[in-house]
Structure 1
């Protein structure tokens, strides 16, 4: 798209567009073409430098902290597969504020400098980017968006490639965007598949933060119940549906977005037998096969009992797959070998938990060059907590980034 005749055609079309002409829709994906139009309407010119609003001084919202916790592990997996010194992986909330960012400590790419947690990346200030397109097109469910090199509106990003996918929240609305940006070659098909699955896993973890709810997994094919491709329902003790993942809404024919006004989960399966309905909120050694409204069948697996507030906060539930009776296809096929469905994963030993937290603290400090306030903001904790972990390990803030697990 950016080389040879196509590159020249795109450059000529850009010049025509900046002179007041129409958007070169035949050379741009529709979402990117609309972003160009919005960027020009905001008064941006391609030769301008991007403007990044200063880091906010206000504490992040509860939703931001929750999203940051839920995306952290998935971002690390993606980084292991696709990261590098000229790449960054980030997640924004629905307003474009970065809640999590990952890049190599050895990156010399100056343009990654402003990409830190707490910074807002707005289309009207930095032009066309993949996360900006995802968020702006949220109402139209645009899905994944790619922006290749010269398709960026600002010249500053003329050699960048970026791809972003939407993350849907508890009510089905777009809660944020998960993005990879960098210079070099990556296979867009692989990126789309992996980032889509990662976004689905984040949505599962968001549902796992609902402590006082039973969690049910849904899938037409039982082999996919333990994977991000399953739908997830959150149901109260009274049987009310509290929330549903986007996939579950699609499987059950529910509205794609908005709070669910459902008095009983059993109403979702009107053709099910009384015994099957009673078994929905009961741990079982194997999933139920229930008739769906459209005449097909769905496998429903009891995944987790409600978590009491007296128990440790759900960080382990958020940072791991949903506790379930069967976390492998073999366990679905051989229910006699599965553990009881209500058994959650055992929490890590105190020492292991501290090591995990210390590693996260050190990585955040390394990313922010020892800035404790910025690291605490990224992690969603107080500065006191960061200092406490460092003191326990006998480290100073400027030594917190010691060690290197980055991929170069």
Structure 2
């Protein structure tokens, strides 16, 4: 079994490296915000550039690439590709992946290379503002259509007016409402909340929105100030939380930082009634690494699961059917970002089919007119080039096999997303 998994992972790595090198060249730079005047008569594919964090601190978000995206591309390529009117023929979709190494700088460099050297027709990017924002900036600079997902929308919207970039994901106020619904269901309305917000794009975006929500809803807030990622001593923060009667802990930290904080909470016998963390608790492998008993009952947001009610607009497959293909190929379980990996290519294909052109302005106009339902839900952009996607409340619960399962325990605002568990609370 180990040899099979190793072989599969090696195949995936080779695939990533191969598609990353496709189309590399020394072409000039598009000066931006103009229609593409390139002679496309010899074109053999429609090129979509996909910067993705395959290594570094965000590598878990990259899990599933390029396998999941290629499933979506295969659905249209098996039909001969997408019809391009000016060429009067169909062209297959070619995905070109580049590793951002979980770095804002590297993400910008990867996107620039995809635009200026690979000459992509469109960019597709996901996985936190650290990846999405710099890539969107490159798209605006060069006048290239860009579809982004899986990054808190507030940080993207705050980066300026977007003409060529379109974004689909939830806003932070939706996360606050989701967390608040968990706490209210747990009987903790008005409790004291200790916040551990990092000094990064997510933390600085979440903090003021949560503070406003706490004040409106009568929660007390204990705020030690922004925490630097990589901090290895949370003793003073934890003692302050204990002294001030904190019953809820929340934040939006990367997993290693939360793991350090939570370990020290155990050492200092600090046991809040509810822990609700964004980002850190998204992945089963990370949550299990905290210790099943230590992590049993922690809560988080859920963006997507294979059991969400939406299906592929390309094939009619459910999320479960799509992720089962991943599990069969790799022996590993699904992750939440996989739904957005598939949906991003699915939506890009819908846009390109309606555009029926390689002209970038025509593609941009087709993006603006998007109105469809994807694997992650309805996609229709507003005047800010933004679309809000669903988010519900989840809890990691220990099952009969001694493993943790992520259960949907609140679904306020999205009754079509069925609950899969009952919220468990500590005494």
Does the alignment reach a TM-score above 0.5? no
Q: Radius of gyration: which is bigger?
A: 1
Q: Which has the bigger relative contact order, CA under 8 A and spacing at least 6?
A: 2
